[in-house]
Structure formats: structure tokens, C-alpha cells
Structure 1
Amino acid sequence: MASRIRLEDHECPLSTTAQHVGEWWTLLILHDAFDGYTRFDQFQQSLNISTSMLTARLKTLVADGLLERRPYQTNPLRHEYVLTERGRSLRPVIVALAAWGNQNLTPEQRSMILVDAETGEEVEPVVIDAHTGRRLDDSEAFVFTAGRAASPAMRARYTELGRSRPRPTAKQQT
């Protein structure tokens, strides 16, 4: 995919992530991979995607380290596409996007839901802070600010927004 990232956004994790997974087909291929699809023909049949588009998307996903291309047959040579650890780490993002998509639908309108594999009960995914267990959807309690590697421009952005990073307490430094 051609880079749509602005020069000033190269340090922004949202911009760089969108460069890897922001393309519509990419998210759908990853969703299929999380459902266990590994073979070209499985992706193509599931998504009804052209051969050239699927080839390009898979090539990008392999180059980005999200899928690994492995031979599964030698005569003729055939490959499968298996999620890497980096690819598997995107699962919570895909789950959150699907949950957001279902958020304003009635249960009767939902064509895909997330369930507990053991009980079959529908679950409601939320994003929480690992340390406190607090939900991150409170935009007043949790805000972005410049990190340690931030450029002067990124630091200025958050200073202008009044979000200079507070000094860590003694407990946070340990």
C-alpha cells in the first residue's frame, strides 16, 4: 500500500499502525486468519477478493511481519499464511473494532458476536488499564501526551493542549 502517512506523523503510533492495518481488505484478511483460515483459496472464497488484490495484501502482511508464508505442499509448491506473534497481538484490536461495530445494533441485527468458547455466552469486550483495571473509554480520565521519544514538535503539541506529562511519583519510578 502506498504510504498515506504525513511526514510529521512518522512518530505517531496511530499513523504508523494505520499504515500497516488501515486498509479495508487487510482487516478482513486478518479477521479470517483469526478464524483459522491460512490458505490463499480460503481467503479468496471467504472474501470474494480478486487474486491480484489478495496477492498484494498478503505480500504486505508478510512484509510487515503480521503473517508468515510457509510451504504446506511441495508438488506443486503451495504456501499457507500463518499469523505471527506480532499478527496475533492485533486480535484485541480486531475484537474491539467488531464490538464497536455491534455497539449500536440490537442483538437481532448482529451477524457476528464474540462469545466465551466454554460457555457460549456473549461477552462484551472493553479496553482497560492493566495496572488499575479502569476502563480506557473515559476521555477525561485518560489522555494522550508526549512520550520519552517524542520530538520537539510532538512535545509542543501536547504542551499546547495542556497535557505536559506529569512527573512520575516515587512509586511509579520503581
Structure 2
Amino acid sequence: MARKSSAKQPAAEKPAAKLSHLGAGGEARMVDVSGKDTTERVAVAEGHIVMQTETLDIVLNGNAVKGDVLGAARIAGIMAAKRTHQLIPLCHPLPITKVAIDIEPDHRLPGFVVQATVKVTGQTGVEMEALTAASVACLTIYDMVKAVEKGMRIEGIRLLEKTGGKSGTYRAEGHEPNEKSSKG
């Protein structure tokens, strides 16, 4: 009689997802989106910049030496979204129709929560543009107040939501869309 092994058998492996930016030989390539339908596509991304309460107060009171910290961060985020294809090698240049950067203080961090919403009517999504916008807005806040505090942390850069295209809607676990992000 054959003895049964007490070790658990590994679960059947799922087939690996095909990475669209890799060719058959593993070489990087830009995806051909010419056959995709043109649809409205929206992506929302966020990031947090964590700082000391004193630094947060300086920004909120408008006392930063370099000037309007949050205004500069909003403009930088918008500019970054529009130039994502120049920063991320395999991104397509897109005719972006909307970029909104919302920055809210969060005393629990303490710091700011940055949310970037990007919209396009096109053949590919704007997830990278939203992620880039949120990242650069956070970096700009850092740059504007680094003379006060060099130990700030940028955390939690992530995609919250995307709509449109063949893959449909994605929403990060626990994320509920707000009116600002869902309005055109």
C-alpha cells in the first residue's frame, strides 16, 4: 500500500498575465492602440506627503518662504500629467481633456493628501498620467518646504480608480469615488 504524503500539494498555478509592453522575445515595445475603440477614460490617483505638524501649519498659514506651496503643487501636477509621455518611455502622448489636482490637509498624518484626476477621450487610458500628476504634486510640496523639514515622506502613491476602455472600471479596495473625481 502506497503511503500518502502529508505535505500539501501546491495549488495549480494561474497562467502568467501577458505584459503588453513586451514583445515575443522579451524586448520593450510601445503598444499599438490603433485598433482600440475611442472612449472616454478617467483615472484618479493619490499620494500622501507626511510632515511635522509645525510644517503643515506653515503651509496652511501661507508662511512658506518660497510662496504658495499648494498652488505651485497644483500647477506642477497638471504640467506633469501633460508630459507623462516624455517621462515614462512607453507611454503614448495623449490629448488630455482634463486634469484636476485636489490637495487636502490631513492632521492625522500630519500632512496632505493629493488626488489627481485625469480625463481623455482616446484609445488608451490615463492611469500613468494620474499617477505622475499625484507624484509630482507631492514632490513639489516637498521642494517648497524642504528648507523647513527635510524628513518629509511621500507615501501611498496609488491608482484609486479608472473607468473606460475595454477593461472597464477598476476601483481600489476601500475607495469610494467622490463627486469631484466623477464629474467631468
Specify which structure has the higher proportion of helix.
1
After TM superposition, is the score higher than 0.5? no
Greater relative contact order structure (CA < 8 Å, 6+ sep)? 2
TM-score between the two structures when normalised by the length of structure 1 = 0.20
Specify which structure has the higher proportion of strand.
2
TM-score between the two structures when normalised by the length of structure 2 = 0.20
